[in-house]
């Protein structure tokens, strides 16, 4: 089941720099693990923003929320979620894929 | 070069139904062609909306605009474009892919 | 799997009244069927608005979209979808229910 | 009398962690009490957000405000309230329930 | 039980003028009746707008919705509802009134 | 001359609690005085919010601004002002009151 | 008593051109009259928009509303009103004027 | 004197196609003339939108408004204007150009 | 050349009070100077807000920006600028003034 | 490949002044370098705002993001990006340039 997620990160300017670096490193490690597991199916940077567009493949909203709320940078994120489904004009729907 | 596009379709209620059907059929054919060509890399329906989330792989803004403005339903669409780039926490950036 | 949906209906003032009545009657019949089937778990009117707040219990986004886009009044609706999950402070999470 | 409430929590990053934990524990205890009393009829987590969707069954706006403004996390919440009523297409209105 | 309602009227420019006049006259008669009954407690015009600010005194959301959705101009209104309660700094709360 | 004012209070979480209490007490005393003087004609709490809806009866914008900007909590308020006038469908306009 | 008004005109594209011209001519005549009377104290065009910024000097909201709602183009206007008062840093307040 | 203008065109779907074509051709001719005259200094298409970003070099707001309001498609445009000035970090300010 | 400017001041609650007072006094002195010079043509307080509406008469955007960005409270202001021109329905355009 | 970027800077009032000055000086040096290299093709100040409008000529979104996210003031900026392409009514499209 696919979900489209746009995350925008707002780090407070007075956040301790060492803590910020640790959070970013943990975030990166977590993102790589979830991508390798196939759960975090796509991850792109939005040009010009501290933001990403992501596609998650999960069992449902419970798993999605567990993943997102467990991200080290989650407390500093604005997160937008959209549930996705097969598009009638997609190759999948046309039986091509 | 990747672009993230969210298209929302607003068909006027007094649009001639035959014209609407023809436009939708042409839109579908065009979408399938562009997907087969690898240009329209992903196409998902947003659950609960007459809208899609798409990823285009194009030469640049010129080609992107030519494609989008040439879609049969373009005059009825609200279109949001975001330029994408490699995310530093992606498998690509990590050399895994 | 639960989804929270807020639907707001905007009927054009020049819609044929007979067609409007037929659409509303079909919408009502469909809503009753889906409630009896347990899919449309809750349906409330928002006071002062031609709008409802609904909870759907579905297999996933595909089923949700099929239901919503199949509603007779869908072309006239503004629809907002939020995926729901168990709240850690709910009775369910506490094992009370 | 039913009210639909969406609460979004924004904890300042420099809030004392011990105070935050205490507030969350008190919030959870209060939520469980109110659910057991039947006042807080439904409580769902919105996937991907530090937010909930809730249905309250109260005597009126006075009781609703007393409950909401008394929540330990209220000073950190963005709260949206909608008064609900029976939907004409609901099973209740149809006499099925 | 008090509700604060702001109504903004948007009459389509191609609405039949006779129908518009009839709707306005019916709206006025209905408003006067409800004010005489004590239900529509206050009714003010917002300067510079085809809009009003109103206070309703009703049994609850059901009655409020029945009144608002029954107004002749309701299909052309944007309606905002806020539930009110006693303010702790009011004369009522201080026991002065 | 009537003005409709909606005030929403946002107290910073790191405001000294003693100062906050003093400001609230002063605000309450000032509100009671102005109500007794007939200037602050109505004062209601918006259910679920640290906000009020108020009606002021003043000589004009000068007096309104002097009152609002002199409120102890003014620096922490978001204030919306609407000038009111007699509604043509009100009892006043109909000569009933 | 001064009010700041920003008016933006939206003429429907299918409005009868003769009626549009008549409305504009009447609007202009009315604006000139009110300026000569000293009521419409300032009238500026916003560059790049079918909009104006105006300052009215009136007895109060009643007169302001009578003027604005009586403008021939009022049904096609988006109108924003702000009540003005003397600024403490103005020459008037400093006793220079 | 430079002004930054973003124009978004919204042609009604029921506009006569011949009239639409004529307006577009006239718009194009006018845009070319103004570019050749050096007044319309830059003109870019926004990818994915029926919109442009433009830089105008004019005597002042009067000339800017005369140009914009005289464009054949002006009645169908949403226009945003920003006045520009030399940036302190530009080559011009640094004396390089 | 006229520009319409709306300035809204947001002083952080933890700004040193002595610095705040000094900034306000400097702002007032600067505003009086510019009014006496005829550059700051009008200055009004918006009732109920720490905001003003102003009309500046300047050589162009360069001078306007120099003035605005040089105001002592500029770092704490939200500033909206609109370029103005003669309105075709004004007394000036009609040759009356 | 051209991108239109609008950057608005929000420096926190409690940022160390020496650090702010250093960041601004570094930002200026970086902007001058990129302009001399032809990458930052245009840079204008928006009158009345701590903001600029810029045109970048880059290889694609990757280079654009590297440049923007590397700007010393990037953590304090709100950045809006629009991909540009040749306008059909431009001199370039007409073969004049």
Q: Is residue A97 pLDDT above 80, yes or no?
A: no
Find the chain G residues whose C-beta atoms sit closer than 8 A to any C-beta of E.
Answer: 3, 5, 12, 14-15, 61-62, 64-65, 68-69, 75-76, 79-81
Confidence tier at C97 by pLDDT (50, 70, 90): low
CA–CA distance, B48 with I92 (Å, rounded to integer): 55
> What would the two tokens of residue B50 be?
């007459």
To the nearest whole angstrom, how far is the Cα of G84 from the nearest Cα of chain E? Answer: 14
Are the C-beta atoms of D67 and D1 separated by less than 8 Å? Answer: no
Please report residues of A whose CB lies closer than 8 A to that of D49. Answer: 79, 81
Name beta bridge partners: D86: C44
CB contact under 8 A, B85 and J1: no
Query: pLDDT below 50 — which residues of chain I?
Result: none
Whole-number pLDDT of residue F7: 98
The mean per-residue pLDDT over the stretch C23-38 comes to 98
CB contact under 8 A, F85 and E53: no
To the nearest whole angstrom, how far is the Cα of A85 from the nearest Cα of chain C? Answer: 5
Please report residues of J whose CB lies closer than 8 A to that of H31. Answer: 89-90
CB contact under 8 A, B84 and A27: no
Whose tokens are 């009398």? That residue is D1
Phi/psi-derived region of residue E95, left when phi > 0, alpha when psi is between -120 and 50, beta in every other case? left
CB contact under 8 A, B61 and J81: no
Please report residues of G whose CB lies closer than 8 A to that of F81. Answer: 82-83
Whole-number pLDDT of residue C95: 87
CA–CA distance, F85 with G1 (Å, rounded to integer): 15
Ordered DSSP codes for chain I:
-EEEEEEEE---TTS-HHHHHHHHHHHHHHHHHHHHTTSEEEEEEETTSSEEEEEEE-SSHHHHHHHHHTSTTGGGEEEEEEEEEE-TTSTTTTT--
Residues listed for chain B: 97
Q: Residue H6 is inside which H or E element, if any?
A: strand H2-9
Q: CA-nearest residue of chain A to J60?
A: A47
Q: How far is CA C13 from the centre of its chain?
A: 23
Residues listed for chain D: 97
What percentage of chain G reaches a pLDDT higher than 90? 94
Whole-number pLDDT of residue D83: 98
Closest partner residue to I49 (CB to CB) among F14, F76, F79 is F79
Q: Residue D5 is inside which H or E element, if any?
A: strand D2-9
With vertex at residue C64, the alpha carbon angle to CA C59 and CA C65, rounded to the nearest 5 degrees, is: 135
CA–CA distance, F5 with I49 (Å, rounded to integer): 11
E and B make contact (3+ CB pairs below 8 Å): no
CB contact under 8 A, E27 and F89: yes
> What would the two tokens of residue J9 be?
């800077």
Whole-number pLDDT of residue A46: 98
CA–CA distance, H30 with J89 (Å, rounded to integer): 9
In CATH, I2-79 is 3.30.70.1060: yes
CB contact under 8 A, H83 and I83: yes
CB contact under 8 A, H83 and I85: no
Closest partner residue to G60 (CB to CB) among F60, F62, F81 is F60
Query: What is the average pLDDT score of chain H?
Result: 97
J and E make contact (3+ CB pairs below 8 Å): no
DSSP, collapsed to helix, strand or coil, labels residue B79 as strand
Are the C-beta atoms of H43 and H52 separated by less than 8 Å? Answer: yes
Closest partner residue to B61 (CB to CB) among H11, H13, H47 is H47
CB contact under 8 A, B48 and C5: yes
> What would the two tokens of residue F70 be?
């002199």
CB contact under 8 A, H49 and B81: yes
> What would the two tokens of residue F96 be?
């009933």
With vertex at residue C48, the alpha carbon angle to CA C42 and CA C51, rounded to the nearest 5 degrees, is: 40
Q: What is the CA radius of gyration of chain F?
A: 15
Closest partner residue to D68 (CB to CB) among F11, F13, F48 is F48
Closest partner residue to E45 (CB to CB) among F45, F46, F87 is F87
The mean per-residue pLDDT over the stretch B77-93 comes to 97
Query: In this structure, what DSSP letter does residue D16 have?
Result: -
Q: How far is CA F12 from the centre of its chain?
A: 20
CA–CA distance, E73 with C4 (Å, rounded to integer): 30
Closest partner residue to B91 (CB to CB) among A35, A48, A82 is A35
To the nearest whole angstrom, how far is the Cα of J47 from the nearest Cα of chain H? Answer: 5
Q: Is residue D66 pLDDT above 90, yes or no?
A: yes
Q: Is residue F96 pLDDT above 90, yes or no?
A: no
The mean per-residue pLDDT over the stretch J37-59 comes to 98
Find the chain D residues whose C-beta atoms sit closer than 8 A to any C-beta of F.
Answer: 3, 5, 12, 14-15, 61-62, 64-65, 68-69, 75-76, 79-81
Q: Is residue J96 pLDDT above 80, yes or no?
A: no
Q: CA-nearest residue of chain J to A14?
A: J15
Whole-number pLDDT of residue J97: 66
With vertex at residue D13, the alpha carbon angle to CA D12 and CA D18, rounded to the nearest 5 degrees, is: 90
Closest partner residue to A61 (CB to CB) among D11, D14, D47 is D47
To the nearest whole angstrom, how far is the Cα of J85 from the nearest Cα of chain B? Answer: 5
DSSP, collapsed to helix, strand or coil, labels residue C72 as coil
CA–CA distance, F65 with F51 (Å, rounded to integer): 18
Q: Does the ipTM surpass 0.85?
A: yes
Please report residues of E whose CB lies closer than 8 A to that of C78. Answer: none
Closest partner residue to D48 (CB to CB) among A14, A68, A75 is A68
Find the chain A residues whose C-beta atoms sit closer than 8 A to any C-beta of B.
Answer: 2, 4, 27-28, 31-32, 35-36, 42-48, 52-53, 55, 82-91, 94, 96
Suggest the residue from C10, C44, C48, C51 to mutate for an interface test with chain E (most E CBs closer than 10 A).
Answer: C48
CA–CA distance, C58 with A95 (Å, rounded to integer): 24
Whole-number pLDDT of residue A95: 87
Size of interface H-J (CB pairs under 8 A): 87
Q: CA-nearest residue of chain B to C63?
A: B47
> What would the two tokens of residue D62 be?
């006075």
> What would the two tokens of residue I96 be?
């009356």
Q: Is residue J62 pLDDT above 80, yes or no?
A: yes
Are the C-beta atoms of J62 and J19 separated by less than 8 Å? Answer: no
CA–CA distance, F50 with F71 (Å, rounded to integer): 15
Query: In this structure, what DSSP letter does residue A49 have?
Result: S
Ranges A76-80, E93-97, F48-52, G57-61: which has the least confidence = E93-97
Q: Is residue F19 pLDDT above 80, yes or no?
A: yes
b/e per residue, E85-94, with b = 16+ CB within 10 A? Answer: bebebbeebe
> Helices (DSSP H) in C37-87: which residue ranges?
61-69
To the nearest whole angstrom, how far is the Cα of G27 from the nearest Cα of chain F? Answer: 23
Closest partner residue to J81 (CB to CB) among B62, B83, B86 is B83
CB contact under 8 A, C35 and D90: yes
Whole-number pLDDT of residue D96: 77
Query: What is the average pLDDT score of chain E?
Result: 97
Q: Which of B58, B50, B67, B45 is nearest to B1 (CA)?
A: B58
CA–CA distance, G23 with G17 (Å, rounded to integer): 10
- The phi, psi pair for B80, rounded to 5°, reads -115, 125
Ordered DSSP codes for J71-97:
STTGGGEEEEEEEEEE-TTSTTTTT--
The mean per-residue pLDDT over the stretch H76-97 comes to 94
Are the C-beta atoms of A48 and A56 separated by less than 8 Å? Answer: no
Q: Is residue D97 pLDDT above 90, yes or no?
A: no
pTM: 0.96
Confidence tier at C50 by pLDDT (50, 70, 90): very high
Q: Which of F45, B51, A4 is nearest to C74 (CA)?
A: B51
J neighbour chains, 3+ CB pairs within 8 Å: A, B, H, I
Are the C-beta atoms of B9 and B76 separated by less than 8 Å? Answer: yes
């Amino acid at each position: 089941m696919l979900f489209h997620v746009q995350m925008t990160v707002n780090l407070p300017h007075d956040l301790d720099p060492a803590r910020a670096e640790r959070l970013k490193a943990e975030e990166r490690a977590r993102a790589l693990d979830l991508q390798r597991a196939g759960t975090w199916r796509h991850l792109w940077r939005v040009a010009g923003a501290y933001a990403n567009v992501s596609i998650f493949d999960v069992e449902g909203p419970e798993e999605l929320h567990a993943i997102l709320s467990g991200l080290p940078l989650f407390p500093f994120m604005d997160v937008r979620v959209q549930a996705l489904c097969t598009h009638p004009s997609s190759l999948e729907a046309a039986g091509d894929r």
